[in-house]
A and B are shown apart, each in its own frame.
Chain A
Amino acid sequence: MGQYQELRTLNPRGGVKAVTQSEAAAYLRGSLGAEPEPSRGSDLDLLRSAQDSSDPLPLLCLRCRISHALETWLLVTFRAHQRSTGIELEAMASYALDDEGLLTIRTGPNAKEPFTYAQLASMPKGLISPFSAEVLRSYDSALCGLPHWARLKIQSHNELKAYFRQHGLLLISDWALLRNSSPTRVRQACEQHLRSGDTIETLCGLHSRYGPLYDAAKLGHKQATGKASGWQPDLPFLRELAPDQDPFATNERLKAIASAIRRLMTEQATKSLDEAAEAGYEPADPASLSTASSTDKGPSSAELTALINAALQRAMGAHMPDVISAEGRQRDLLRCLWAGWAEGMSNRPLAERCGTSCGTVSKKLRPTEHATTIATAAALELKRQPAFASCGQSMEAAERLVEALRNHLLEPEREGDVAPLRRWIQQYLSNP
């Protein structure tokens, strides 16, 4: 079954299902004799048919085609991040594969119209449903192919981006990626990951002209729409970028460079993860605290320890209650998360226990950040003691003290002990 008559759509029972669109199949048989091979030419033929008539069927064929491109994108992204972030394919598909193949489109709370190209063109600006309708309405065939356009549109889907952010992921558009890549990275990406008829110099030259034009166009987009996302290069932009080139070809080159950059960064990310796993994690030694501020004269080690512990207790008492006891909907979640963390649970079981995602656990807890804030507050108090006065004048002394205090808060001094911050939270949460 081909891409023009099979619709990939969200399955309410889970996952994505294929639904054959018999009307689309009949249309293809009647107008073309058989379903064509997926190609830009076939896409354009169907698009012209949709534009020239009030028949919703050629558009339905293109909606099927779009659903395949979107599904591929979703699966690649899902597989890459499912384990690390807990994203769900069904949730992702609910934003992109919400087309049920109906031949009418909703135009108001109780109003429907035939799902035709003319109807799409007449609808007011703003995201329309299903998502394939938004892809088709905004598509300009002079800029790029339809599957690529579908991918660009899903990259800038605000609600899907928000879903990803909740899970600790950022959807970065090709255009932002190109802007934020140095000439060195672009050259390396093209050399290693791009097979093209163009020379590296041609591609790097195109990229070097891209940045200033992008900045100006993006500024105009923000002023016009009040939004930072959703910008796509239009024909004037592409013509200005490469005046002597076909804008479609220029867009294809940009797309190829962006894809090469993604491949380079994927490779680098994989390498750095492997290296990190190989290197292992070695926490700083909390024992350094006892020697961090020792002086020849002044308080004994026991006195210093007492001063430090008292300062840390006060700093934890001042900072943590607000962190743990936020009001509102988050209250129960926060208490659940901090209680689990104080027991020593890691993110995944903690997410399961509290009924949330790993990304949310990471974002809500941030124990190292809080430990640093507490350590700095305690250091500010300790600085008033002569033994720690050097922290006001010496950057090294200040950073050493804060690091030692932070490690002391997070790491138990002896095996089997409970780290001070965990212990403080356990005691705080055990009080009614």
Chain B
Amino acid sequence: MSSPTPIEPLEAFPMPVGAIELDDSAAALSARSLAVAGLQQALRDRRLPLPLGPETALGDAQRLLSLNRFAVQLATGGVLADQLEIDATPWDSEATAPQLLLAALVDEENAVVAFPGVLTGAEFLELARSAERSDQAVLLDPLAFHGGVDRLLTLVQLLEPEALPHLSLTPAAQASAGSVVAVIDWLRGQLDEAFSALGGELTPVAAGAFRSGVVASQAAEQALAMLVIPFGLSGDQLVSGDAARRCVRKFQLALIPTGPDHATHPTGLVVRLSSAVPGALLPDGLQLDARQGSHRQTITSAMSTELELVFQASDQLLDVSLRYSEAEPVELPSLQLPS
């Protein structure tokens, strides 16, 4: 060990800039509740009547906050903490991922709360890639956050909610990579988790089969099931699930196993991309790509109302991906169509 440097240690520390002092009634609250009380105080100080929820579970550390329709994760640490533990659980899927991450430094003994700042989902993901992990937590330096609570309040007031996508720490492409889904399960009403994470839902064939308007009659007659996955564009980023439903440019990918009447095994699969609004144009530049063994089909939208690819059952797995611009493509789990 080296010799200690003769420094007179500080007993008291300067209060962080913008720190909020709560009254004595907050003395026995949890760190989370103190942080929420600090946020409420910040809203009162600025005379901003923004809705903050969930009203009955604001103190529940497992829940995201909803501030003016934005999903906000609250991460708390001590006022002198040099590391914040960010619970990574909500970031496992786009369906549950927050749009913003607010850091709160809480001094429970003095009932003081400081907000070093906020990160958007994209900013958090970038930091998380190189961050230290501990169990289900991502460890970040509070200095990684910036803008104080004012940045949060600016973003949730000025932006439309769909402008900040819900991004998963485990991208859909990665989440589904390597898994194989038996299409026959869909005929039994079973849906794989990887498709659920993308927001996919099995839709009754009769009700919705070819809602996009132009019906490929043979396929329509032979549809045995239909899985619909909502997609959208947030900026140049492809998003799915709830995040997609909030996008202005949204569309859906339908996977339709086909076969003779009352067949128990599909003999083919239709892959169709269409606008969420029947008959509307798809954004130009969407590329649907599918590979079955050595057989590959690619189609790109250009003034298109839909894109469609058709495959026959085979021993080969079917890999489907959707791409837009330079963004990371979304790769679906490999599909098994029984030969």
Are A395 and B9 touching (Cβ within 8 A)? no
Interface bin, chain A: 35 or more
CA distance A319 to B10 in the complex (A): 38
Q: Across the interface, which residues of A come within 8 angstroms of B5, CB to CB?
A: 192-193, 263, 267
CA distance A191 to B2 in the complex (A): 7
Q: Across the interface, which residues of A come within 8 angstroms of B2, CB to CB?
A: 191-192
Are A393 and B82 touching (Cβ within 8 A)? no
Which residue of the partner chain A has the closest CB to B26?
A: A228
Are A180 and B80 touching (Cβ within 8 A)? yes
State how many angstroms separate the Cβ of A188 from the closest Cβ of chain B.
Answer: 10
Are B82 and A269 touching (Cβ within 8 A)? no
**Main SS of chain B's interface residues?**
loop
Q: Across the interface, which residues of A come within 8 angstroms of B159, CB to CB?
A: 391-393, 395, 398
CA distance A418 to B6 in the complex (A): 47
Are B151 and A399 touching (Cβ within 8 A)? yes
In the complex, whether A172 has a CB less than 8 A from a CB of chain B is yes
**Main SS of chain A's interface residues?**
helix
Which residue of the partner chain A has the closest CB to B80?
A: A180
Which residue of the partner chain B has the closest CB to A151?
A: B11
Are A322 and B47 touching (Cβ within 8 A)? yes
Are B47 and A319 touching (Cβ within 8 A)? yes
Given contacts A177-B80, A393-B159, contact A161 B109 (CB under 8 A): yes
Q: Across the interface, which residues of A come within 8 angstroms of B12, CB to CB?
A: 77, 80-81, 164, 169-172
Are A80 and B8 touching (Cβ within 8 A)? yes
Name which of B7, B48, B77 has the most chain A CB atoms within 10 A of its CB.
Answer: B7
Interface residues of A in 51-99 (CB under 8 A from B): 73, 76-77, 79-81, 84-85
Query: Which of B14-22, B236-244, B284-292, B320-328 lies on the face that meets chain A?
Result: B14-22
Given contacts A262-B10, A393-B163, A395-B120, contact A184 B82 (CB under 8 A): yes
> How many residues of chain B are within 8 Å of chain A by beta carbon?
50
Contact with A along B78-91 (1 / 0, CB 8 A): 11111100000000
In the complex, whether B312 has a CB less than 8 A from a CB of chain A is no
State how many angstroms separate the Cβ of B55 from the closest Cβ of chain A.
Answer: 24
In the complex, whether B225 has a CB less than 8 A from a CB of chain A is no
Given contacts A168-B15, A259-B9, contact A373 B46 (CB under 8 A): yes
Interface residues of A in 359-382 (CB under 8 A from B): 359, 363, 366, 369, 372-373, 376, 379-380
In the complex, whether A238 has a CB less than 8 A from a CB of chain B is no
Interface residues of A in 268-300 (CB under 8 A from B): 269
Q: How many CB-defined contacts (below 8 Å) exist between A and B?
A: 183
Q: Across the interface, which residues of B come within 8 angstroms of A196, CB to CB?
A: 1
Contact with B along A191-227 (1 / 0, CB 8 A): 1111110001000000000000000001000110111
Q: Across the interface, which residues of B come within 8 angstroms of A359, CB to CB?
A: 15
Are B120 and A182 touching (Cβ within 8 A)? no
Interface residues of A in 251-268 (CB under 8 A from B): 259-260, 262-263, 265-267
State how many angstroms separate the Cβ of B13 from the closest Cβ of chain A.
Answer: 5
Are B150 and A372 touching (Cβ within 8 A)? yes
In the complex, whether A156 has a CB less than 8 A from a CB of chain B is yes
Are A192 and B11 touching (Cβ within 8 A)? no
Are A195 and B1 touching (Cβ within 8 A)? yes
Q: Across the interface, which residues of A come within 8 angstroms of B78, CB to CB?
A: 176-177, 179-180
CA distance A322 to B160 in the complex (A): 29
CA distance A383 to B13 in the complex (A): 41
CA distance A420 to B139 in the complex (A): 42
Contacts A/B (CB < 8 Å), 24 sampled: A76-B8, A77-B12, A161-B109, A169-B13, A171-B109, A176-B80, A180-B81, A184-B83, A194-B4, A227-B28, A229-B27, A229-B109, A260-B4, A262-B9, A262-B11, A265-B13, A269-B14, A376-B153, A376-B154, A376-B158, A380-B157, A392-B158, A393-B159, A402-B154
Top 9 A-B pairs, shortest CB-CB distance:
A180-B78, A262-B9, A182-B83, A229-B109, A228-B108, A398-B158, A180-B81, A169-B12, A372-B150
Interface residue ranges, A against B (CB under 8 Å): 73, 76-77, 79-81, 84-85, 155-156, 161, 164-165, 168-173, 176-177, 179-182, 184-185, 190-196, 200, 218, 222-223, 225-229, 259-260, 262-263, 265-267, 269, 319, 322, 359, 363, 366, 369, 372-373, 376, 379-380, 383, 391-395, 398-399, 401-402
